[in-house]
Amino acid sequence: MFKMKALTCAALAIAILSCARVAPAQVSLSIGVEPTCPYGYFDYAPYNCSPYGYYGPDWFNGGVFIGAGRWFHGPHEFYGHVDNRYDPRRGYRGPLPARNEEQFNHFHGNEARDGRGHRGDAGHDAGNEHALPGYHGGGHGEEHR
């Protein structure tokens, strides 16, 4: 009798499990909207706007920031200069720009970074990097992209 109950339970379990539908896995990853900052944003959370002078011209294509951290969209082997004296993780306590603030132009790089938080070699000296490509200067009221 015991064997018959066990066999019946096993058959019932197999029947129930074989009728179950397979649900497709749904994976959703939301990284949020890329910060809109005049001079770029740091490559680490919470992705605050970086101050003027942190990123060098290597980080801009036609005056547009190529991104950092989860929104980095530069070349795979990219390393561009930064001035780490403006990094809060290195002791910078000065002002940080607000989002959508207008740009101005001056830079002195002392380190190269890859856009994903790693230091490395940019393959060139930062000494002649003083202007954002595509930046034309100007007074207030002009729009810079």
- Summarised one tens digit per residue, pLDDT across range 109-131 is 678 888 788 888 887 776 665 55
For the chain, the C-alpha Rg in angstroms (whole number) is 26
Q: How far apart are CA 20 and CA 57, in angstroms?
A: 58
Using one digit for the tens of pLDDT, what is the confidence trace for 79-112? 999 999 999 999 999 888 777 776 665 566 678 8
36 in a structural domain: yes
Number of domains comprising the chain: 1
43 in a structural domain: yes
pLDDT at residue 27 is higher than 80:
no
What DSSP character marks residue 1?
A: -
117 in a structural domain: yes
- E strand intervals along the chain: 60-61, 64-65, 80-82, 111-113, 119-120
Using one digit for the tens of pLDDT, what is the confidence trace for 28-60? 455 688 898 888 999 999 899 999 889 998 898
Q: Report residue 17's pLDDT band, with 50, 70 and 90 as the boundaries.
A: low
9 in a structural domain: no
Contact present, 109 and 83 (Cβ < 8 Å)? yes
63 in a structural domain: yes
99 in a structural domain: yes
68 in a structural domain: yes
6 in a structural domain: no
On whether the pTM is more than 0.75, the answer is no
Give the domain range for residue 65: 32-139
